[in-house]
Amino acid sequence: MTQTENYLKLAVLLLALLLTVTWVGGVGAQQTGSGLGQGAKFLEAKIPEFEIHNQVLLDGLWKLARGPAPFGFGFEKVLKGSLSDPDVPDPLLSLQLKDKSVREVLDALCQADSRYTWSVDGTTVDLFPRAVINDASYLLNRQLARFELRNATDVQNGLLAIVRQLPPPVEQIAQAQVGGDDRYPPEPWTVTFENLTVRQVVNRLAAHGGRCTAWIFGGARDFRAFGFFNTFVCSPPPPLPSWAPKRVEPPPKSP
């Protein structure tokens, strides 16, 4: 192989890498490239069986995210116009899938409730209404050129920082939830992010509470609220109870 050919191959490789890294903001099974850990290998993990019966999309997402290939997610409900408006009805879905990848199950869920699409941001899957994809004024699509967080010990510290660091107009933001656990590690957290959407920042705020944390955004245009749910599903379980006897394996028999 000549040196010219080597250079040519290297150039093609670099170009491919550059294209991958600069692919931002797409929908469907596309990575944002902004990075949360190890990327999206979990999307290819096979789910032996996935079934929902007359359940809403969020139920299906919880079930998938707590299944054999667990992951964290953000789910954005279709917002009502006003809090006093009647609730937006969610269609009931029934799915029966076998030996599909996480990616294929997510596709099937968003096909079943076609109001939604999904993307992946590092190890967090985001499901959001298709209707907001191109809405630059939608809170979670807004861009933060620079986001600074100092000594955060609670996810609300991050939410407040978003409100304060977004350019005008001033956004209303709330946390409203019952149930679950949103604790942060006790050590104060100081971090800076650049060129992220609010959605991507919220992914990171949630992930600081633990791997596989879920966040849900809902309410109405005049009252938007988050809920955060740390889960232990991504923590490897202890291999054995503490009282299990310590087995000593016999040495292998010599041939």
Binding site for another protein (CB under 8 A): 80, 83, 87, 154, 156-157, 159-160, 163, 171-183, 214, 216, 218-220, 223-229, 231-233, 237-245, 247
Please report how close the Cβ of residue 210 comes to another protein at its closest, in angstroms.
Answer: 11
Structure-block tokens of residue 98? 């076998």
* Dist CA 81 CA 196 (whole Å): 27
- Measured from the CB atom, is 101 or 175 closer to another protein? 175
Smallest distance, Å, CB 150 to another protein?
A: 13
Minimum Å gap between C-beta 220 and another protein is 6
Shortest Cβ distance from residue 223 to another protein (Å)? Answer: 5
Q: How far apart are CA 75 and CA 51, in angstroms?
A: 20
Of 43 and 202, CB closest to another protein: 202
**243 or 253: whose CB is closer to another protein?**
243
- Please report which helix (H) or strand (E) contains residue 226, including its range: strand 223-229
Closest approach of Cβ 241 to another protein, in Å? 5
Question: What residues contact residue 245 under an 8 Å CB cut-off, 6+ apart?
Answer: none
Residue 114 CA to residue 131 CA, distance in Å, equals 10
Closest to another protein by CB, 96 or 235: 235
Based on CB atoms, which residue is closest to another protein, 1 or 168? 168
Rounded to the nearest 5 degrees, what angle is found at the Cα of 102, between the Cα atoms of 135 and 54?
80
How far from 244 is each of 239, 248, 249, 251, CA to CA, in Å?
10, 12, 15, 21
Coil/strand/helix, residue 150: strand
CB closer to another protein, 13 vs 240: 240
| CA dihedral sign of residues 45, 21, 108, 37 | positive
Q: What angle do CA 46, 52, 57 make, to 5 degrees?
A: 95
58 or 106: CB nearest another protein: 58
Tell me the chain's radius of gyration from C-alpha atoms: 21
Rounded to whole angstroms, the Cα distance separating 128 from 203 reads 13
For the bound state, the minimum distance from the C-beta of residue 89 to another protein, rounded and expressed in Å, comes to 13
Q: Are 36 and 74 in contact (CB under 8 A)?
A: no
Q: How far is the CB of 28 from another protein (least distance, A)?
A: 26
